[in-house]
Structure 1
Amino acid sequence: MKKVNTLRELQLISIYIYKTLMEFCSKNDINVYLHGGSLIGAIRHGGYIPWDDDIDICMSRTDYEKLIALSGGKISSDCKIIDPATNPDFNGYIPVIVYEHSKMNSKQYKIPEDLKIGISVFVYDGISANPFIQKLYYARMFLLRAEHALCRADFNHVHTSIAKRFGFFFQRFYKATNVEKYKVKILKLQQKYNYETSEYVSTNADYQASKEICLKTDFERAVPLEFEGIASYTYSHFDSHLREYYGDYMQLPPVEQQEPKHGFEAWVDEDFDFEFLN
């Protein structure tokens, strides 16, 4: 394998995965939306935010299950879906579509994982229409996510001494062997409210899911846009959602914040063609 030496090379591998996914979903009538920073990138830059290092997408539970069923877990000969519910060796709870002929090293996790370059899939499920019940639900989800993170995180690489001491203290009670238990609980709670019968939907397991609650009718109404020259889509309420989540998303952040948010090294097979977009 060859080392991925630049941010743009890392971006191109993710673009290849995204392009492959969009081709598969277009052929099979599956709806996929740009999400988060990738959505901002498409609107503001026509593709990647220049310093971003991953791609975020989202889809409804219905479309995600259709994707799994029709693909059998593989959207091409070299791109595979890592579904948390069916992959006990995968410790995360957010699905990832990976390029199989790649690998990554991350300093975030203390548990050895077979990490590959991939794009995250945030799945929208149903949520109660009652604001009070929503608060109770997300309080429970927050606790499970915190317990899962304490099992998984490597606090040796935390920069502040207070956070490091805090992390090591609580890891006495949350062992790495329990990470699968909390992952299963998160996945179960995530789907508590059926997508098809709900008026409101959200990502539920995301760390600020309460800001992503929306009418299902708004979510399902697609708006076209482009990402790195690839015909793409997002939800109709994208502007109000991004302003709720990020504020004035058209304003560039301070220069000191314009840097990749994930710390890892990556490698890809020798034959990978970085010119595939040309």
Structure 2
Amino acid sequence: MNYLEQFKQQQLRTCQLKQLGILEEIDRICRKHNISYWLDGGSLLGAVRHGGFIPWDDDIDIAMPQDDARRFAEVAPKELPSTLRLQTPDTENTREPIMKVRDLNSFYVEGNEDFSLDYCKGLFVDIFPMIDYPNVSRAFCRKYGKDMSRCYSILHHSHQYSWRTVAELFYFGARYQFCKLMWKAAFAFKRTGTYMSNILINNGYGIMHRRDSIFPLGTIEFEGKRFSAPANTDAYLHDLYRDYMQIPPKEKQKIHSVFILPELIKQ
């Protein structure tokens, strides 16, 4: 018997409901300050396919246009309750290029956690900043977007140094700069306004969404409550997952976290 997996299964629903509470706070702040956001990734998929969380999912994903994400970063620290914290690359050294709203009285361990770094590791909602893309082909986006994201990830994670590691860092550093140059050229010579997606270093799958599949934003039911969603959820999810209504086999229905605990101190 896998006791850790059984423990995570026992904690999962309580963790999901706590994350739902975080999302409600984000939604409240965004409504108050007219900040655009929408359910993204597995959370949007869960809303469409399951009416809420994917049964084995243990986080929530939302997206914001980059300008809205900047405004959220300005107002959220003053608006969030004392039990929650906005975590950004500028405020905590998480080595992740995204914002999270974290719950302080919980514990969530991902596979790439660095316990030598003192950053909050509570339950969270991921906030992905979205930008306009140039009118490039999807093949271009997959090639240079995936490569740039992969190189960035390698360069920004801890290493045990050796001559081989140093050589790899030079190699991936050069590839990263080349991909960055190709994207700069695309932004300089191609029009924008048709496509939108994650900031380049986050776009590990090379995905582009048509803006008219996102805007004007609609709403969708998630766990009995309504939250912002892309205008065309079918097109958006097809971009992400292709045949998104297909339930994965049982062996792939895995909880993402290494360890989850919904409450550290009983209240």
Relative to the length of structure 2, the TM-score reads 0.75
User: Cα offset for 1:125?
Assistant: 0.5
Q: What's the counterpart of residue 27 of structure 2?
A: 22
Q: Distance in 2 between matches of 1:50 and 1:253?
A: 12
> Per-residue CA shift, 1:227-270, capped at 9, x if unaligned?
11222121112201212321222221112212213323446332
> Per-residue CA shift, 1:16-40, capped at 9, x if unaligned?
2111111221222222211111111
Where structure 1 has 5 or more consecutive residues not aligned to the other structure, the ranges are: 157-167, 273-278
Q: What's the counterpart of residue 125 of structure 1?
A: 131
Q: How has the CA–CA distance of structure 1 residues 170 and 36 changed in structure 2, closer, same or farther, with 3 Å as cutoff? A: farther
Give the one of 206, 210, 213 matched to 1:214.
210
Local SS of the residue matching 2:214: helix
| C-alpha RMSD of matched pairs (Å) | 3.6
Q: Does 1:99 align with 2:103?
A: yes
Number of aligned residues: 244
Q: How does 1:243-262 map to 2 (within 5 A)?
A: 243-262=238-257
Q: Does 1:241 align with 2:256?
A: no
Q: Distance in 2 between matches of 1:56 and 1:70?
A: 20
Local SS of the residue matching 1:59: strand
Local SS of the residue matching 2:72: helix
Give % identity.
23
Where structure 2 has 5 or more consecutive residues not aligned to the other structure, the ranges are: 1-6
- Contact 2:69–2:129 under 8 Å retained in 1: yes
Q: What's the counterpart of residue 76 of structure 2?
A: 71
Give the one of 16, 31, 41 matched to 1:11.
16
- Contact 2:14–2:262 under 8 Å retained in 1: no
Q: How has the CA–CA distance of structure 1 residues 65 and 152 changed in structure 2, closer, same or farther, with 3 Å as cutoff? A: closer
Q: Distance in 1 between matches of 2:30 and 2:263?
A: 25
User: Cα offset for 1:140?
Assistant: 4.8
Which amino acid letter does the alignment assign opposite residue 254 of structure 1?
P
Q: Distance in 2 between matches of 1:129 and 1:37?
A: 26
- Contact 1:17–1:99 under 8 Å retained in 2: yes
> Per-residue CA shift, 1:34-90, capped at 9, x if unaligned?
111111111121110111111111111122122122224752222222122x23522
Local SS of the residue matching 1:232: strand
> Per-residue CA shift, 1:115-172, capped at 9, x if unaligned?
222111111101111338x82x66554444323333455799xxxxxxxxxxx99644
Local SS of the residue matching 1:90: coil
Q: Distance in 2 between matches of 1:41 and 1:71?
A: 26
Q: How has the CA–CA distance of structure 1 residues 99 and 174 changed in structure 2, closer, same or farther, with 3 Å as cutoff? A: farther
> Per-residue CA shift, 1:174-230, capped at 9, x if unaligned?
67xxx9xx9xx99xx89x969xx7442211333345323312x44221121111122
Q: What's the counterpart of residue 163 of structure 1?
A: none
Which amino acid letter does the alignment assign opposite residue 27 of structure 1?
K
Q: Distance in 1 between matches of 2:88 and 2:164?
A: 28
Give the one of 34, 37, 47 matched to 2:52.
47
Q: Distance in 2 between matches of 1:204 and 1:120?
A: 14
